Amino acid sequence: MSGQDCAKDISATIVAAAAARTPLAIHGSGSKRFLTGAIDGAALDVARHRGIISYEPTELVLTARAGTPLREIEAILAEKNQMLAFEPPHYGPTATLGGTIACNLSGPRRPYSGAARDFVLGTRIINGQGEILKFGGQVMKNVAGYDVSRLMAGSYGTLGVLLDISLKVLPRPAREITLKFEMNADAAIHQINAWAGQPLPLTAACYLGDTLYVRLSGTDKGVRAAHIKLGGEHDSRSDAFWQELREQQLLFFAGDTPLWRLSVPSAAPLLDLPGNWLFDWGGAQRWLRTSANATEVQRAAGAAGGHAILFRNAGRPAPAYPSNAIASRLASELRRAFDPSAIFNPALSLT
């Protein structure tokens, strides 16, 4: 089935579901199912809508259908020595572009290059009335009103079905190295924030155990100069370490203890919570394995100026999102505008 025919088929299914008020569970490859848990509704398979539509290496722009596997996209980019700058986690070999953008997932490079939504140039979607709509384009420019394309990033399919996505891509750096520094957590938070304010080619910073890991990326000359300035021990497992961190394959992530994701200011002091910690994104994203109750974790994150969600929990996969009255009201209004019959992933919340 061609991409056009596939889109029309999905649209017809949505029109029928809206008329019957039948909930739809949007389903891609299933690699992100642990983030949402089971969703009630008739399965709407969108993984079949796949394939790269266009790729202009000289313009640094790629457009692909939502069901296109991430590994296929990354392989084509690698042939031209380019990459997805937000370094998305796959969480499995079948991960698709649509699922990645719908969840707004970004890897270790995120605080230094930008989030997934920052690289979305345009989208084509199907709304809750079965209408095929196009937003944005294939160039970076200012827009008036809502930037709907980027609004789709992190919407978890609650606003519409992603069909096609145009992305800004970037050249791969000429050289990358990882440095290791032994220090305590307080010193690591202070040090990485001090370095972040300097003209250094930082592209990742993680603290695990008693070690601060820092990745430098750029020209050979720039990376060498930064290494001389910072010192530290060279880590020969550079690529493997960041991939294992991104895919949550490090030993830290193993086991059944609930895994919390805390988003806080990067310079926030250590939180008084029991459990094991891993700091990513230069301290702005903090992973915590703990048996502490949800109220205790979310209260501590809130006091630090951030929030916390339950990312993985054996027996209860759906994340517990913090409530926010204003954000909830805005999210409800957006959902009514895009999906007036409330058929898309009805159990999920945008806040």
For 84-97, what is the HEC assignment? CCCCCCCCCCCCEH
- CA 111 from chain center: how many Å? 12
Strand boundaries in 192-264, DSSP class E: 202-208, 211-218, 233-234, 259-263
Helices (DSSP H) in the chain: which residue ranges? 3-20, 33-36, 70-79, 97-103, 110-113, 148-151, 185-196, 220-230, 238-246, 294-303, 325-338
In degrees rounded to 5, what are phi and psi of residue 289? -100, 115
- Nearest CA to 168 out of 45, 59, 24, 7 is that of 59
How does DSSP classify residue 180?
E
Neighbours of 230 (CB within 10 A): 16
Residue 323, pLDDT score:
59
Residue 5, pLDDT score:
81
State how far the Cα of 229 lies from the Cα of 346, in Å rounded to an integer: 52
Residue 36, pLDDT score:
78
- Residues linked to residue 280 through DSSP beta bridges, in sequence order: 285
Q: pLDDT tens-digit profile of 193-235?
A: 999 999 999 999 999 999 999 999 999 999 999 999 999 999 9
State how far the Cα of 205 lies from the Cα of 176, in Å rounded to an integer: 13
Residue 1, pLDDT score:
63
How does DSSP classify residue 321?
P
Residue 346, pLDDT score:
81
Residue 237, pLDDT score:
87
Q: Which residues lie below 8 Å from residue 333, measured CB to CB, with a gap of 6+?
A: none
Parts of the chain with a pLDDT under 70: 1-2, 138-146, 314-323, 349-351
